[in-house]
């Protein structure tokens, strides 16, 4: 790639990471989706999946190291906290906040894909960026990046209880406050079978406590349960 083509990536690195890449191709590759290579086979040969593989391992090690050295909880609790930090939604949101989406190279079809597919691409790119930083600057700088953009969310995750399985937690809360077991009902199904979106509501008694949507009923139920937990939290503050 020419200097003019690589300049936006170097500008992004300078602004967001605070350094320039000696090998800017690492960052470009980290932000290259497989679909782009398929459309540009003559000029591009490498996508970000190998860097994603590396970055995923670095991310998990940094998070595990932090949790192990700063908390005394048992392995099962720490595993749940780690899962909440590194799940697709968390790292996809971190990628969106960083603002690299305009730099992600993907096919025309992927650009027009669903929000779910977009979030997955941003999450994969985030892990690939970690891999690129690790190769360019080493473990310490990769750890700084992960602490700033991922581990910094731990306090809010613990405060909200979102690290717990939302459905199990909601059942405990609803039985404690209302002596009722939550019931999940499909409100709407949108789209073709291969890309369906489910919208569900969770009811405690006759009251709709929360709604959620997702590519499966299980995902929608978790979102609805989380919304209901937030409703209970608000109610507790006003009681």
Catalytic residue positions, numbered:
56, 127
Pairing assessment for the beta strands 183-190 and 207-214 based on DSSP bridges: unpaired
CA distance 194 to 77: 35
β-sheet bridge partners, residue 129 = none
CA distance 135 to 132: 5
Distances (CA, A) of 179 to 38, 43, 159, 160, 223: 56, 63, 24, 22, 22
Angle between helices 75-86 and 49-70 (to 10 degrees): 140
């Amino acid at each position: 790639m020419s200097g003019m083509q690589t300049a936006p990536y170097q500008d992004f690195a300078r602004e967001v990471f605070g350094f320039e890449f000696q090998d800017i191709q690492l960052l470009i590759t980290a932000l290259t989706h497989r679909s782009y290579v398929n459309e540009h086979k003559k000029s591009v040969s490498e996508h970000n999946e190998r860097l994603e593989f590396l970055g995923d391992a670095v991310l998990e090690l940094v998070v595990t190291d932090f949790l192990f050295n700063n908390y005394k909880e048992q392995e099962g609790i720490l595993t749940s906290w780690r899962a909440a930090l590194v799940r697709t939604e968390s790292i996809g949101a971190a990628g969106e906040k960083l603002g690299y989406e305009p730099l992600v190279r993907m096919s025309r079809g992927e650009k027009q894909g669903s929000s779910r597919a977009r979030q997955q691409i941003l999450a994969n790119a985030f892990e690939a960026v970690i891999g690129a930083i690790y190769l360019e600057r080493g473990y310490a700088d990769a750890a700084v990046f992960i602490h700033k953009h991922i581990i910094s969310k731990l306090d809010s995750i613990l405060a909200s209880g979102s690290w717990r399985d939302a459905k199990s937690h909601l059942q405990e809360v609803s039985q404690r406050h209302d002596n009722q077991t939550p019931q999940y009902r499909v409100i709407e199904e949108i789209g073709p079978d291969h890309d369906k979106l489910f919208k569900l509501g969770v009811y405690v008694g006759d009251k709709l406590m929360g709604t959620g949507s997702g590519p499966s009923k299980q995902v929608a139920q978790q979102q609805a349960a989380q919304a209901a937990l937030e409703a209970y939290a608000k109610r507790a503050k006003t009681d």
